[in-house]
């Protein structure tokens, strides 16, 4: 990633007294690491995930380490009540990080509609709702940053036979649609889509996922720091792909003939390969970043023959 220019609005946000960032999927993994990077820059935090206990621990740790305020907000974003609680908090946020998401380790025709609906609620509905809640206030106040965490699967059919890539592509498309609009381009508000490859984190350890080749693996704290640095630029990138290797992968997926991805080991074909058990362990998708108590499928990992997304 190019060296960021922390000037102008980026510098103001970076050291702003009282600025608040809301992070979803924040209890561990990439979400927790993004929260740590934001706290280190002096931002107060609203930490959103389903489970209260890990949020409480993280909030206490960050308050003690950085002298900021960290508010745990337990909420299931697949429920109307939970999503609206998070949306109410997002209205006052100076930074919104849409990190929570999900993936299913089975092909589309083998999942239940309830499972598909839950994944779409997390990957499509929840980030849209929180963005819709946060954006008007940011525009009115004259500052704001929105980070939508996506996946390299959004750039091509590397998760064949599933709706996962399509759901993550929505976040990139929405980010681009808003970011390039005249209203946003002429305002101090900026949107960025973070396109992740395989990012190792505590989430993967909890899910019992074997490591991918080092050449395809990025450390979660490293990715979180790059992402937070990117949104603090005076002009943040609309799409942020952390690392040259995944910039190359994303570029190839966009432009290679998709029939080449049918070759062995170039993509995961979920209509052929069954990951884990015949059914997902809990009957539900596991959430990306910090919201994955169901714990089978962190949605930002990629690798042939592994229970990953």
Spell out the per-residue pLDDT of the chain, length 309, in tens.
334 444 444 444 544 567 999 999 999 889 999 999 999 999 999 999 999 999 999 999 999 999 999 999 999 999 999 999 999 999 999 999 999 998 887 889 999 999 999 999 999 999 999 999 999 999 999 999 999 999 877 676 666 778 888 999 999 999 999 999 999 999 999 999 998 866 555 544 544 445 556 656 778 888 999 999 999 999 999 998 886 655 556 555 565 666 666 655 666 677 776 554 454 433 444 433 334 333 334 333 333 222 222
159 vs 107: CA distance, rounded Å = 9
What b/e sequence results for 129-138 when a residue is b if at least 16 CB atoms lie within 10 Å of its CB, and e otherwise? bbbebbbeeb
Residue 269 has, within 13 A of its CA and on its CB side, a CA count of 11
- DSSP H or E run through 46: strand 44-49
Give the number of other CB atoms < 10 A from CB of residue 232: 25
237 vs 231: CA distance, rounded Å = 8
Q: Is 42 left (phi over 0), alpha (psi -120 to 50) or beta?
A: left
* Residue ranges covered by each domain of the chain: 9-287
Q: What is the pLDDT of residue 50?
A: 94
Q: Is the dihedral of CA 93, 130, 190, 73 positive or negative?
A: positive
**Cβ-contact 136, 93 below 8 angstroms:** no
Helices (H), the chain: 9-14, 29-40, 52-66, 80-90, 113-120, 126-141, 164-179, 182-185, 202-207, 220-231, 244-255
* CATH top class, domain 9-287: alpha beta
Catalytic: which of 28, 164, 170, 246? 164
The DSSP output letter for 209 is: P
148 vs 118: CA distance, rounded Å = 18
Q: Which of 173, 166, 171, 156 is nearest to 99 (CA)?
A: 171
164 a catalytic residue = yes
**Cβ-contact 232, 10 below 8 angstroms:** yes
> Residue holding tokens 């080749």?
213
The DSSP output letter for 122 is: I
């Amino acid at each position: 990633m190019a060296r960021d220019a922390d000037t102008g609005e980026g510098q103001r946000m970076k050291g702003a007294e009282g600025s608040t960032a809301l992070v979803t999927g924040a209890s561990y993994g990439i979400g927790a690491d993004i929260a740590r990077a934001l706290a280190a820059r002096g931002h107060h935090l609203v930490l959103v995930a389903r489970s209260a206990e890990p949020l409480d621990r993280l909030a206490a740790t960050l308050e003690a380490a950085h002298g900021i305020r960290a508010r745990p907000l337990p909420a299931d974003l697949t429920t109307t009540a939970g999503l609206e609680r998070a949306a109410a908090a997002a209205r006052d946020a100076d930074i919104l990080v849409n990190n929570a998401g999900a993936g299913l380790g089975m092909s589309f025709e083998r999942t239940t509609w309830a499972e598909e609906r839950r994944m779409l609620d997390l990957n499509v509905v929840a980030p849209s709702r929180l963005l819709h809640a946060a954006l008007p206030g940011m525009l009115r106040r004259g500052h704001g940053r929105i980070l939508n965490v996506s996946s390299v699967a959004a750039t091509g059919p590397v998760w064949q036979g599933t709706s996962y890539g399509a759901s993550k592509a929505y976040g990139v498309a929405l980010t681009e649609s808003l970011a390039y609009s005249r209203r946003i381009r002429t305002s101090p508000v900026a949107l960025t889509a973070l396109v992740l490859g395989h990012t190792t984190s505590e989430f993967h350890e909890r899910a019992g996922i074997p490591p991918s080749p080092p050449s395809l693996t990025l450390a979660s704290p490293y990715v979180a720091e790059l992402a937070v640095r990117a949104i603090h630029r005076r002009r943040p990138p609309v799409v942020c792909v952390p690392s040259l290797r995944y910039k190359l992968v994303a570029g190839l997926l966009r432009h290679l003939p998709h029939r080449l991805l049918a070759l062995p080991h170039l993509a995961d074909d979920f209509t052929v390969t069954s990951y884990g058990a015949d059914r997902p362990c809990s009957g539900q998708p596991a959430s990306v970043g910090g919201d994955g108590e169901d714990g089978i499928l962190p949605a930002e990992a990629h690798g042939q023959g592994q229970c990953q997304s």
